[in-house]
């Protein structure tokens, strides 16, 4: 049998987390191979393009700067200066409670920046294409993994074998790497689905991200750069599954009316400008994040509802710590033990918080929605609590 090709880092998965990981490890001087069964879709108009956006918080922006990716992304990013929470759980979908969290209360910088997912993939793929020590192999997946004390050997779908000091599973919620390690997962299904699309609107967003609670799940408007000379935002709309299916079947004008009713008119009239995408909402946590010479990041390790900009930011927190721990011997037992010790409890804690927020946002009975509004109003009205929650959301003081 032919000897395996050797590298420092093998990344299984070429989604956003995998491509960013390849760029970051490459920028740190490691030899990297990244594989994915499918090529990245890097244009908004292509079929199958990921039309969601991600609010990258400041710790993630620092990782982008470290990898060289921020220079490619900054011109396309919309800053997030204020996070606004609205309760619209009364008899009609109108704002009856508004609380705002201003980044200026804790920092001179905004909370972060919002970017389209397809664009991040495009720029990450372009960056690693320019790195002589990084190889991206789209159209090639990982099929088998054997781990040893000194290396892990993966067999790829093209028949080749790769020996790496560290294998990173960034291959999603059905991770081949996690399954090869025999790591179980705990999954919670909420009976919800999310709709994601972009809208233009009459009023400027003023770099404010708005999360509106009524029932079924939060309705979130996240700033984007202007589109065709008009203010633009990304929408993530969570509802129970049957309601999302009903919304998807509506004629365009009826859907637009439902959209504007749900938005409480906070940005004036909203007009959809991209196709709708939808996906089921679950939370999922792997029983552990490591094996011999192997680490799980992103959705291979944890999946959670799109609330509070925690999903991909948690994934990049995984990556940032793994980078720091890999400065000596990538994949060493000590480094992976430390990664497990620090990231798994942090992920479990944040998932518990997001689970509570999501279940609270799903409340349907009117009396319970009234209690929710009263509780949120009291909690968010206490200045020290507000600052603590903002710092916790950013991951300040952790990792």
Sequence-ordered list of residues with C-beta below 8 angstroms from that of 175, at least 6 positions apart, any chain: 12, 13, 169, 296, 299, 300
Token readout for 151 is: 């290396």
387 pLDDT band (50/70/90 cuts)?
Answer: low
Q: What is the mean pLDDT of residues 57-73?
A: 94
Give the Cα separation of 290 and 270 in Å (integer).
Answer: 45
Out of 46-55, 158-167, 177-186, 328-337, least confident range: 46-55
33 contacts 135 by C-beta, under 8 angstroms: yes
- Residues contacting residue 174 through CB under 8 Å, at least 6 positions apart: none
Placement of tokens 């637009």 in the chain: 256
Q: What is the pLDDT of residue 377?
A: 57
Q: Which residues pair with 98 in a beta bridge?
A: 86
Identify the weakest region by mean pLDDT among 137-146, 164-173, 332-341, 346-355. 346-355
Tokens 């050997």, residue located = 153
| 208, 79 contact by CB (below 8 A) | no
What pLDDT is stored for residue 293 in this prediction?
A: 97
What's the CA gap between 303 and 239, in Å, rounded?
Answer: 18
Tokens of 45: 């108009």
Digit-coded pLDDT (tens) for 208-254: 999 898 888 889 999 999 999 999 999 999 999 999 999 999 999 99
Q: Tell me the pLDDT band of 306, cut-offs 50, 70 and 90.
A: confident
Residue 378's pLDDT band, with cuts at 50, 70 and 90, is low
Which of 27-31, 206-210, 324-328, 347-351 reaches the highest mean pLDDT? 27-31
Kind of pairing between the strands at 270-272 and 185-201: antiparallel
* Range of lowest pLDDT (87-91, 164-168, 230-234, 251-255): 87-91
**How would you classify the pairing of strands 294-296 and 161-169?**
parallel
Nearest by Cα to 207 from 109, 123, 274: 109
Separation between Cα atoms, residue 318 and residue 339, nearest integer Å? 8
Q: What is the pLDDT of residue 102?
A: 83
Please report the pLDDT score of residue 379 as a whole number: 52
Kindly report the backbone phi and psi dihedral angles of residue 305, in degrees, each rounded to the nearest multiple of 5, phi listed first: -60, 150
Q: Per residue in 244-296, pLDDT tens?
A: 999 999 999 999 999 999 999 999 999 999 989 999 999 999 999 999 999 99
- Please provide residue 387's backbone torsions phi and psi, each rounded to the nearest 5 degrees: -65, -40
Average pLDDT rounded to a whole number, residues 107-125: 90
Share of the chain above pLDDT 90, in %: 67
Sequence-distant (6+) residues with CB within 8 A of 349 are none
How many whole angstroms from its chain centre is CA 369? Answer: 28
**Residue 117's CB: how many other CB atoms inside 10 A?**
20
> Across the chain, how many H-helices and E-strands are there?
11, 20
- Residue 214 CB neighbours (<10 A): 24
Q: What is the pTM of this model?
A: 0.89
Q: Could you give the CA distance from residue 24 to residue 28 in angstroms, rounded to a whole number?
A: 6
CA-CA distance, 351 to 283, in Å (whole number)? 8
Please tell me the least confidently modeled range out of 50-54, 233-237, 361-365: 361-365
Instruction: For residue 219, report the phi and psi dihedrals to the nearest 5 degrees.
Output: -115, 115
Assigned CATH topology for domain 5-41+115-187+286-358: FAD/NAD(P)-binding domain (3.50.50)
Q: State the burial class of residue 8 (Cβ atoms within 10 Å of its Cβ: 0-12, 13-18, 19+).
A: buried
At residue 150, φ and ψ (nearest 5 deg) are -105, -10
Residues 6 or more apart from 384 whose CB is under 8 A from it? none
């Amino acid at each position: 049998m032919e000897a395996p090709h050797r590298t420092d880092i093998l990344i299984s998965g070429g989604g956003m987390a995998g491509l960013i990981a390849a760029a970051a490890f490459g920028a740190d001087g490691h030899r990297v191979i990244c594989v994915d069964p499918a090529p990245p879709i890097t244009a908004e108009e292509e079929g199958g393009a990921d039309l969601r956006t991600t609010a990258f918080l400041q710790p993630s922006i620092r990782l982008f700067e470290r990898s060289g990716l921020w220079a490619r992304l900054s011109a396309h990013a919309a800053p997030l200066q204020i996070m606004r929470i609205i309760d619209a759980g009364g008899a009609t979908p109108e704002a009856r409670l508004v609380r705002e969290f201003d980044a200026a209360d804790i920092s001179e910088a905004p909370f972060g920046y919002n970017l389209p997912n397809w664009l991040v993939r495009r720029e990450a793929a372009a960056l690693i294409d320019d790195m002589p020590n990084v190889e991206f192999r789209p159209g090639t997946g990982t099929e088998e993994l054997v781990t040893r004390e000194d290396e892990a050997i993966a067999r790829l779908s093209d028949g080749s074998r790769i020996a790496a000091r560290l294998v990173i599973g960034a291959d999603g919620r059905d991770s081949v790497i996690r399954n090869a390690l025999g790591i179980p997962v705990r999954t919670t299904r909420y009976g919800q689905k999310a709709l994601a699309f972009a809208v233009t609107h009459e009023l400027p967003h003023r770099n404010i991200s708005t999360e509106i609670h009524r029932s079924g799940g939060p309705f979130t408007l996240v700033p984007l750069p202007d589109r065709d000379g008009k203010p633009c935002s990304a929408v993530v709309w969570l509802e129970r599954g049957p309601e999302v299916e009903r919304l998807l079947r509506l004629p365009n004008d009826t859907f637009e009316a439902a959209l504007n009713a749900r938005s409480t008119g906070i940005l004036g009239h909203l007009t959809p400008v991209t196709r709708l995408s939808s996906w089921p909402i679950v939370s999922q946590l792997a029983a552990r994040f490591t094996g011999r010479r192997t680490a799980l990041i992103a959705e291979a390790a944890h999946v959670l509802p799109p609330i509070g900009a925690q999903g991909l930011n948690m994934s990049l927190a995984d990556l940032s710590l793994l980078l720091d721990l890999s400065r000596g011997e990538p994949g060493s037992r000590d480094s992976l033990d430390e990664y497990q010790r620090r990231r798994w409890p942090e992920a479990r804690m944040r998932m518990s918080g997001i689970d509570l927020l999501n279940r609270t946002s799903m409340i349907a009975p009117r009396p319970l929605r009234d209690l929710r509004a009263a509780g949120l109003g009291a909690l968010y009205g206490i200045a020290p609590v507000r600052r603590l929650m903002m710092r916790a959301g950013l991951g300040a003081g952790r990792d």
